[in-house]
């Protein structure tokens, strides 16, 4: 039997810092993009950097700032993403805090964001605990089983191919290519428009 309604909504304590509060205040209307999953074979849940850059080009005018978050291990990939974004002279409101903020500060940024864009990783569940609008990209992970538990979350899955095969977390042998390639920028943008957060 599936439980459709939670007995109580998940919650989390928000303990930001002066640094995160200053960033929140200075950023005005902002969104958070968390492009990097963690854990075993996390590369299988990554969406291409070019896709993130194209999405940012579509949404950047809706926000004063777009904040990219990530762990210290994500800094090199984030620098590559920032270089790709900066090559488009139209976009000048994106900042990276990958490897700069600690988890409690990242949580503070998430709690106050207009919307979160992320692949399915722990950050999406933190956003769900704060009931923040979010777009969650699912590839190998089963969206129904592992998706964020929030009515303000829209999951985007690949348009074709084998996906959603990770139910218990060990079924990587079922992969048939990179299913994340089958999530289009257009599909993510349409989900964003559906949320109507701006």
Q: Is position 5 within any domain? A: no
Convert the pLDDT of each residue in 100-152 to its tens digit. 999 999 999 999 999 999 999 999 999 999 999 999 999 888 888 888 888 88
The DSSP 8-state label assigned to residue 44 in this structure reads: G
Q: Is position 103 within any domain? A: yes
Residue 132 CB burial class (10 angstroms; 0-12, 13-18, ≥19): buried
Q: Is position 1 within any domain? A: no
The whole-angstrom separation of Cα 19 and Cα 98 is 14
Domain range for residue 35?
18-195
Residue 161: band (very low, low, confident or very high) from pLDDT cuts 50, 70, 90: confident
Residue 71: band (very low, low, confident or very high) from pLDDT cuts 50, 70, 90: very high
Q: Is position 6 within any domain? A: no
Q: Is position 56 within any domain? A: yes
Q: Is position 188 within any domain? A: yes
Q: Is position 13 within any domain? A: no
> Number of structural domains, the chain?
1
């Amino acid at each position: 039997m599936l439980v459709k309604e939670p007995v109580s909504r998940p919650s989390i304590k928000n303990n930001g810092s002066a640094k995160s509060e200053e960033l929140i205040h200075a950023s005005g209307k902002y969104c958070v993009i968390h492009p990097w999953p963690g854990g075993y074979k996390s590369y299988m849940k990554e969406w291409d950097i070019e896709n993130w850059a194209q999405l940012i080009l579509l949404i950047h005018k809706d926000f004063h700032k777009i904040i990219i978050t990530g762990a210290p291990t994500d800094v090199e990939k984030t620098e590559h993403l920032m270089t790709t974004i900066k090559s488009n002279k139209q976009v000048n409101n994106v900042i990276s805090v990958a490897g700069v903020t600690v988890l409690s500060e990242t949580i503070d940024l998430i709690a106050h964001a207009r919307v979160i864009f992320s692949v399915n990783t722990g950050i999406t569940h933190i956003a769900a605990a704060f009931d923040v609008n979010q777009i969650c990209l699912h590839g190998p992970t089963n969206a129904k089983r592992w998706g964020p538990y929030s009515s303000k979350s829209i999951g985007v899955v690949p348009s074709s191919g084998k996906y959603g095969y990770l139910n218990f977390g060990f079924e990587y042998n079922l992969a048939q290519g990179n299913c994340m390639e089958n999530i289009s920028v257009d599909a993510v943008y349409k989900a964003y428009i559906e949320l109507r957060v701006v």
